[in-house]
């Protein structure tokens, strides 16, 4: 993603070799920017940001508990709890969403 390449020039970590082309740099999963002399032009992107969310679709739930688990027990395991609808897990894992 473009925002992952917004790295301050002095904070760039080299990701290539001298003379690497923009195409080769990007193929390696790195960012390429020649606008600042004296710093790496091929550099590592910022890590992707991700957050945990409880899925809205009841049919996308992946069971994290057992029949009769309480909300407190479920949340202690680090999972989501929603006691509805019938026929799907009420204690279920988070989904990871990239920001």
Q: What is residue 37's predicted lDDT score, i.e. its pLDDT?
A: 93
Angle at 51 between CA 50 and CA 55, to 5 degrees: 120
Q: What is residue 1's predicted lDDT score, i.e. its pLDDT?
A: 60
Please give the full DSSP string across 50-86, using - where no structure is assigned. EEEE--S-GGG--B-S-TT--HHHHHHTT-EE---ST
Domain ranges of the chain: 3-43, 50-98
Q: What is residue 2's predicted lDDT score, i.e. its pLDDT?
A: 66
Task: Tell me the mean pLDDT per 10 residues along the chain, length 99.
Answer: 85 94 95 94 89 91 94 95 93 86
Q: What is residue 97's predicted lDDT score, i.e. its pLDDT?
A: 82
Q: Please give the CATH number for the structural domain made up of 3-43.
A: 4.10.110.10
d(C-alpha 80, C-alpha 64), whole Å: 8
Domain 3-43 and domain 50-98 have a common topology: yes
Q: What is residue 75's predicted lDDT score, i.e. its pLDDT?
A: 94
Q: Which CATH architecture has domain 50-98?
A: Irregular (4.10)
């Amino acid at each position: 993603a473009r925002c992952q390449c917004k790295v301050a020039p002095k904070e760039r970590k080299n990701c290539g070799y001298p003379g690497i082309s923009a195409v080769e740099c990007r193929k390696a999963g790195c960012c390429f920017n020649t606008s600042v002399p004296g710093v790496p032009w091929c550099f590592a992107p910022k890590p992707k940001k991700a957050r945990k969310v409880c899925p809205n679709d009841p049919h996308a739930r992946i069971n994290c508990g057992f029949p009769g688990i309480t909300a407190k027990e479920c949340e202690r395991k680090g999972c989501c709890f929603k006691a509805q609808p019938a026929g799907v897990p009420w204690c279920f894992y988070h989904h990871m969403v990239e920001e």
